[in-house]
């Protein structure tokens, strides 16, 4: 979603049970939130993520289940503990990884919200962010 390659670092994380370990080689410090109905249903609230691109290594493939959530994207989770591991664009292999998978970091900046037109009225973030509608996101990803 938001990408600032100049502030990219390698980030490491894991699922709750530790069976799946993720290394994102060039993960920026930008955090995005998706308010689409599907993400909210998947996680019970907005999907808070880092767009880690396609240079992502996953150790513990045997514990990863993948759900094809649309024609153009899929979601991965740990089959043992249920941790949400990634949202991945099928064509490019681009991974959006939940911020909670990674070790805590003070360098993160919440700067983008997508599907803002689907955000329900019962919550609101006070951060100043770039806000994109669903149509703008589909245009951006060419879906």
User: What are the E-state strand segments in 28-107?
Assistant: 30-34, 47-53, 56-59, 64-68, 73-78, 84-89, 95-98
Return the higher-pLDDT residue of 5 and 100: 100
Sorted by where each starts, the structural domains of the chain and their CATH numbers stand as 5-141 (3.90.1590.10)
The structure tokens listed for 53 are 């691109």
The answer, as to whether pTM is greater than 0.85, is yes
Separation between Cα atoms, residue 79 and residue 89, nearest integer Å:
20
Check residue 104 and give its pLDDT.
80
Share of the chain above pLDDT 90, in %: 84
What is the structure's pLDDT at 4? 47
Which letter, b or e, does each residue of 24-48 get, where b requires 16 or more Cβ atoms within 10 Å of its Cβ? beebbbbbbbbbbebbbebeeebbb
Query: Is the distance from CB of 56 to CB of 64 less than 8 angstroms?
Result: no
φ/ψ of 41, rounded to 5, equals: -70, -40
The alpha-helical segments, DSSP class H, found in the chain are: 37-43, 134-141
Tens digit of each residue's pLDDT (9 = 90 or more) over 94-118: 999 999 999 888 889 999 999 999 9
The encoded tokens of residue 23 equal 């290394």
Give the CA-trace dihedral at 130, 138, 92, 102, to 10 degrees.
40
């Amino acid at each position: 979603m938001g990408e600032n390659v100049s502030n990219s670092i390698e980030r490491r994380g894991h699922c709750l049970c530790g069976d799946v370990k993720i290394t994102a080689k060039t993960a920026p410090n930008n955090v995005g939130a998706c308010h689409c109905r599907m993400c909210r249903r998947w996680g019970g609230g907005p999907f808070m993520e880092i767009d880690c691109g396609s240079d992502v290594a996953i150790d513990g493939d045997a514990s990863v289940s993948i759900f094809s959530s649309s024609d153009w994207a899929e979601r991965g989770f740990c089959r043992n503990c249920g941790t949400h591991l990634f949202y991945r664009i099928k064509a490019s292999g681009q991974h959006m990884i939940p911020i909670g998978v990674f070790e805590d970091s003070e360098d993160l900046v919440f700067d983008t919200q997508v599907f803002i037109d689907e955000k329900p009225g019962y919550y609101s973030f006070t951060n100043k962010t770039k806000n994109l509608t669903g149509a703008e996101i589909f245009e951006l990803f060419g879906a």
